[in-house]
Amino acid sequence: MAEESEAEEKAEEAKPPHPHHHPSREEIRKQIEREKEEIEKRLENVEHVLVVMSGKGGVGKTTVTVNLALCLAEDADVGVLDLDIHGPNVPEQLGVDRPPQASPAGLFPVKGYRDVKVVSIGTMLEDRNLPVLWRGPRKSGFIREVLVKTQWGDLDYLIVDMPPGTGDEIMTGLEMLPERARNVLLVTSPESMAHSDVVKAGEAVKRMDGNLLGVVSNMHGIICPECDSLIEYFTEDHSEELAERLGVEVLARIPLDPEAKLRSEEEGKPMVLAAPDSRAAEAFQELAERVKEEL
Ligand SMILES: Nc1ncnc2c1ncn2[C@@H]1O[C@H](COP(=O)(O)OP(=O)(O)O)[C@@H](O)[C@H]1O
Ligand SMILES: [Mg+2]
């Protein structure tokens, strides 16, 4: 078979697809390769990318994302990309109530507290109170589109908040990011440690050529609102065991801090802003320092 010249191939790619045309596997592969190149270009001026994930929901991924972003933003330019289609709550926590601005040049993030640039799928949906009933391919397509279109500009850190599990969003998110950007923080909580979900998420990251930076143990003990002491409520520290199994370290232990959480609810701001002197805020600062060392 005669080899297709490069020019012919390009002309073929430039043709608009017929409306009833179903792309072949090869066409999809090429499309994805093109998108990956575009995403790499988009992230050219982003120094470090950090992906926050976990095998489970409710362990504190979003809490870690927003508080860490704010700590880093004290002396750096930071962006947050919220890829949780079903439960996006990054924007309200960072004080953003508008979707990114769309123009022919792309999607432009909106700035929240401490000038953190935010892009959240949640703000792009028509009615934020309606559930999103999308199956895998549609979710993956949307995530790819947002990654291709977002103009982050110059950033020191971009933090990606992932939905729970190891499903489509995570696979697509990690796969589409350039390899240098696949740095992952695994958030866990004492309860979920008994399960193998977090280990599974860690193994998934390794298989996708990700770089596991370390484990964050959230809700690690409770801070007594009366005397500010740390109350341990689990006899064993499973986070060490988990980190060892994955060949990384526990980068920070964040206590469950009811008082800081209360102040955060009252002020409608993350704990490091609403309760900067709390034990939880202190732990987030330590995490930010460790992250800077590890990246
Ligand atoms: N260290 C903490 N101290 C107090 N409350 C916390 C802490 N971490 C998380 N929470 C609360 O737990 C709930 C779940 O956390 P969230 O970050 O939304 O989890 P995820 O993103 O993993 O689903 C939220 O209400 C959050 O405010
Ligand atoms: Mg979340």
Mean per-residue pLDDT, 67-89: 91
Q: Is residue 97 pLDDT above 90, yes or no?
A: no
Ligand 1, pocket residues at CB < 6 Å: 54, 57-63, 218-219, 254, 256-257, 261, 280
Model confidence at 2: pLDDT above 50? no
Q: Which residue has the higher pLDDT, 29 or 17?
A: 29
Q: Could you tell me the distance, in angstroms and rounded to a whole number, from the CA of residue 273 to the centre of ligand 2?
A: 19
Alpha carbon distance 252, 214 (integer Å): 9
CA pair distance 139, 117, nearest whole angstrom: 22
Query: Are 70 and 114 spatial neighbours (Cβ–Cβ below 8 Å)?
Result: yes
Mean pLDDT score, 204-227:
90
Q: Which CATH class is domain 39-294?
A: alpha beta
Q: Which residues pair with 222 in a beta bridge?
A: 231, 256
Pick from 58-72, 89-103, 180-194 the range whose average pLDDT is largest.
58-72
Select the more confidently predicted residue: 277 or 98. Answer: 277
Structure tokens at 143: 């995530």
Q: Which two tokens stand for residue 282?
A: 């202190």
Q: Specify the pLDDT at position 162.
A: 86
Looking at every residue in the chain, the average pLDDT score rounds to 86
Ligand 2 centroid to residue 251 C-alpha, Å = 20
pLDDT at 131 over 60: no
CA 153–ligand 1 middle distance (angstroms): 30
Torsion sign (Cα): 66, 68, 74, 80: negative
* β-strands 211-223, 183-188 pairing: parallel
Query: Per the structure block, which two tokens stand in for 64?
Result: 């870690």
Q: Give the pLDDT confidence score for residue 1 in this predicted structure.
A: 42
Ligand 2 centre and the CA of 27: distance in Å? 34
Of the CA atoms within 13 Å of residue 107, those in its CB half-sphere come to: 24
* Residue pair 66/90 in contact by the 8 Å Cβ criterion: yes
Pocket test for ligand 1, best of 56, 253, 261, 263 (most atoms within 8 A of CB): 261
Q: Are 293 and 214 in contact (CB under 8 A)?
A: no
Q: How far is the centre of ligand 1, averaged over its atoms, from the C-alpha of 256 (Å)?
A: 9
Instruction: Tell me what pLDDT residue 70 has.
Output: 98
Lowest mean pLDDT among 52-66, 143-157, 194-208, 210-224: 194-208
* Ligand 1 atom 11, closest CA: 60
* Residue percentage of the chain with pLDDT more than 90: 52
- Give yes or no for a contact between 97 and 268, defined as CB atoms under 8 angstroms apart: no
- The owner of tokens 């007594």 is 224
Ion ligand 2 neighbours (CB, 5 A) are 61-62
Quick one: which H or E segment has residue 253?
A: strand 250-256
Does residue 272 register a pLDDT over 60? yes
Percent of the chain with pLDDT over 70: 83
Distance CA 79, CA 287 (A): 17
Q: Give the pLDDT score at 143.
A: 85
Residue with CA at minimum distance from ligand 1 atom 17: 60
